[in-house]
Amino acid sequence: MNETHEKSEEKTQENNWKYCPRCGAELPPIDDIKYCTRCGLDIAYLKKYNKVPSDSISKVDIKKDERPKLTEDEIFTKKEGRIWDNPASIFIPLGAFGAMELAVSIIILPLIFFIPMNQLLNDILNSTVFLIVFSLFEYIFILIPFLYVGLFLERPTIGNRLAILGLTTKRKTGLETIQEILLGVIFAIIALILVNLISLFLEFIMSFFFNLESIFGTQTPTSETDLYIASSNIIEIVLLVIIMIVVIGPSEEVAFRGFMQKGLSRTLGRNLGLIITALIFTGIHLISIAVIALESAIGAIVAFILLFFPYFVISLLLGYLFIWRNENLIAPTITHGIYNSLTVLMGFLVFNYSLFTFGIFSLITFGIFFISIALYFILNYIKQQNQGVVEI
């Protein structure tokens, strides 16, 4: 008790209070701070008169324009406490999704008017080139949170904005960055195996209750890009793989893990923040089921069951990886991008090549998996020798 009291009364020179005398919270190192960020004590009054103000003076609301802003150091060290509120955590990413859909609609509407031939329009919309162009709009998932988080930073530079969203290599050595990338590759392959096992299990179970072939034809709705992959050439597949790694992975991870999950976890707790984010992430990817529902309610229900659990599981995996890596997005971003890329490559091989070719692809994938694990622990050993500490 004495230590707490002494700590709460501690001051620096020139009447510059370091701790709040009411609640004991450490005050941000800001010269013109007006209120305690925890209890709302009038710090300006405290500094001026060198005494704690009465309740009538100190009971004030911290206005939005006086919200505490994170220093560059706090971006990396402050892992608890509210940053942005829950509505913003949810609706900023959803707003970005809406803006993305609006931007694509603005492009599609002129096509509908100027290309009256239904077949030609259908071919354009179902082409891989259109999917690639459409995917570029996913950068809106980064842009809107990127602009918003500047409100919570003392120095809203590009680097600091990306850092608070987790998309940064600051304060990581070269070895640590490579380790994060290797973890991303490892978990991408784990996710690929896990999701495919879940999908096969669900199809097996559902086949006892429904005739899947009569509902969906020869292909069950295991991937929203199957239609594009089946008709793609090698160049288009290569471009699609690049898009998955440099656009889809970073964009969706910034919006859902770096912004939504981070914001919700700071107020609702890690587990609840993780689950809510996973549910919303899954829901966003299941919107296309509405098209199936127009033709068949049963088909929509079956598609929902077949798609919900794989998407939910990979979202949980990405969320746990984000938590484990101390809210850094390098590993989750690589996992997301590589997982999508492997899914595209796997689908392309299944549709266009023999089982033997697919087997070679599987062997190469497992080879990369074990090599990545070995390299990760080799780098960890090197870091251990340099620091004298074992980290996993």
In order, the DSSP letters of 360-391 are HHHHHHHHHHHHHHHHHHHHHHHHHHHHS---
Regarding whether 279 and 313 lie in a shared domain, the answer is: yes
Regarding whether 181 and 303 lie in a shared domain, the answer is: yes
Does 384 have pLDDT greater than 50? Answer: yes
Q: Look at residues 32, 58, 84 and tell me which one is the last residue of a structural domain.
A: 58
- Report the range of poorest mean pLDDT among 55-64, 120-129, 305-314: 55-64
What pLDDT score was predicted for residue 65?
46
Regarding whether 102 and 46 lie in a shared domain, the answer is: no
What pLDDT score was predicted for residue 289?
81
Residue 40, domain member (yes or no): yes
Residue 234, token pair as written in the block: 């090698």
CA angle centred on 354, ends 351 and 355, rounded to 5°: 100
- One-letter amino acid at 191 equals A
Pick the residue with more confidence: 187 or 304?
187
Question: What's the pLDDT band for 343 if we cut at 50, 70, 90?
Answer: very high
Residue 251, domain member (yes or no): yes
Q: Look at residues 33, 58, 83 and tell me which one is the last residue of a structural domain.
A: 58
What pLDDT score was predicted for residue 59?
47
Give the integer Cα–Cα distance in Å for 39 and 86. 20
Regarding whether 194 and 50 lie in a shared domain, the answer is: no
Are 355 and 151 within 8 A, CB to CB? no
Does 35 have pLDDT greater than 70? Answer: yes
Are 236 and 256 within 8 A, CB to CB? no
Are 304 and 193 within 8 A, CB to CB? no
What pLDDT score was predicted for residue 37?
67
Regarding whether 264 and 223 lie in a shared domain, the answer is: yes
Determine the distance from the C-alpha atom of residue 212 to the mean position of all C-alpha atoms in its chain, rounded to a whole number: 33
Does 62 have pLDDT greater than 70? Answer: no
Does 80 have pLDDT greater than 70? Answer: yes
Regarding whether 186 and 311 lie in a shared domain, the answer is: yes
Least Cα distance to 31 among 202, 154, 192, 171 occurs for 154
Regarding whether 84 and 53 lie in a shared domain, the answer is: no
What pLDDT score was predicted for residue 10?
46
What pLDDT score was predicted for residue 69?
87
- Report the range of poorest mean pLDDT among 47-56, 108-117, 185-194, 327-336: 47-56
pTM above 0.85, yes or no: no
Pick the residue with more confidence: 154 or 211?
154
Mean pLDDT calculated for residue range 8-33: 64
Q: What is the DSSP letter of 219?
A: S
Residue 5, domain member (yes or no): no
Does 1 have pLDDT greater than 70? Answer: no
Does 389 have pLDDT greater than 60? Answer: no
Residue 209, domain member (yes or no): yes
Residue 375, domain member (yes or no): yes
The alpha helices in 248-354, defined as continuous H runs, are 249-253, 262-268, 270-285, 289-295, 297-324, 330-352
Residue 65, domain member (yes or no): no
Does 110 have pLDDT greater than 90? Answer: no
Regarding whether 374 and 317 lie in a shared domain, the answer is: yes
Residue 2, domain member (yes or no): no
Regarding whether 122 and 155 lie in a shared domain, the answer is: yes
Regarding whether 220 and 101 lie in a shared domain, the answer is: yes
* pLDDT tens digits for range 179-210: 999 999 999 999 999 999 998 898 888 777 76
Regarding whether 223 and 319 lie in a shared domain, the answer is: yes
Pick the residue with more confidence: 286 or 315?
315
Does 121 have pLDDT greater than 70? Answer: no
What pLDDT score was predicted for residue 304?
87
If one counts the domains in the chain, the total is 2
Its domain, for residue 330, covers: 72-389
Does 342 have pLDDT greater than 50? Answer: yes
Does 54 have pLDDT greater than 90? Answer: no
Does 177 have pLDDT greater than 60? Answer: yes
Regarding whether 41 and 103 lie in a shared domain, the answer is: no
Residue 369, domain member (yes or no): yes
